[in-house]
Amino acid sequence: MKELNVSSIQRFSTGDGPGIRTTVFLKGCNLRCPWCHNPENISSQPQTLAYNTGKKVTCGKIMSTEEVLADVLEDVEYYRASGGGVTFSGGEPMLQAEALGELCRMLNDNGVTSLIDTAGCVPWRYFESVIDQTDIFYFDYKSADRNIYSSIINGDIDIVRCNLKRLISSGRTVHVRIPLIPGINTAVSECERICTDLLDLGVKRVGLLPYHRLGSAKYDALGIEYAYRNVPIQSASEIESIKEIYNKYFITYIE
């Protein structure tokens, strides 16, 4: 029986994959995106969010795969009725790939589908632990710029590209999603570079995730600085202009 470092479990999610889902947020991430809207899941250590309303929320609990399974199976009838299932997000859930693969297999045994939301910047062997047990992958592609990946995101674009190509070639269902981050990947030239990258990797469809500041209160509650606090939200026309670029190459949708 393996263990997972769980930040929180959110029931009745409708934006984390098809149907009604339970989203299991796993703690710990190897990237350091300054726009992250789940800062409580970056560290692998337990943390308490102290909101200015007086509310306190502690994130971070070690749970066995059996404990998580029992929790998420409470809503199994909703999954079956809606075509939903269980989504694993973070943080970077692939950092806990061995235990995650075991839990996804247990879900399969109970007729429940699983979805892993990943940034893909981990060794391929981690994917090998889950690929045969997982139905859908959401794969974030943040930039085509090597320097941005290394100096700002703290990742390796070559690892990301390689993993995405292998994942697509495996025949699994892969949804590539691009978070639209001002100053990072929203300029026309950057959008075109990403499109060239993704075409080369075999991508056919992309989802665009407009930038938002919904995580601001979490940064305050953790007592840490939010670097993107004052970055303007994109207008509907700006988002549509970006979509038009992607539409030239892919089936594109806005999430």
DSSP H or E segment with residue 85: strand 85-89
Residue 44 — very low, low, confident or very high, per pLDDT cuts 50/70/90? very high
How many CB atoms are located within 10 Å of the residue 54 CB?
6
If you average pLDDT over residues 14-23, what whole number do you get? 94
User: Does position 1 have pLDDT exceeding 90, yes or no?
Assistant: no
Number of residues written out for the chain: 255
What is the pTM for the complete model shown? 0.96
pLDDT of residue 35: 95
If you average pLDDT over residues 221-241, what whole number do you get? 94
Kindly give the residue spans of alpha helices, DSSP state H, lying in the chain.
Answer: 65-72, 76-82, 97-109, 124-128, 146-147, 157-169, 188-200, 216-222, 236-247
CATH number, domain with residue 75? 3.20.20.70
Question: Which tens digit of pLDDT belongs to each residue from 236-250?
Answer: 999 999 999 999 999
Share of the chain above pLDDT 90, in %: 96
> What is the residue range of 111's domain?
3-254
Q: How many domains does the chain have?
A: 1
What residues form DSSP beta bridges with 85? 21, 113
User: Does position 202 have pLDDT exceeding 90, yes or no?
Assistant: yes
pLDDT of residue 50: 97
pLDDT of residue 55: 95
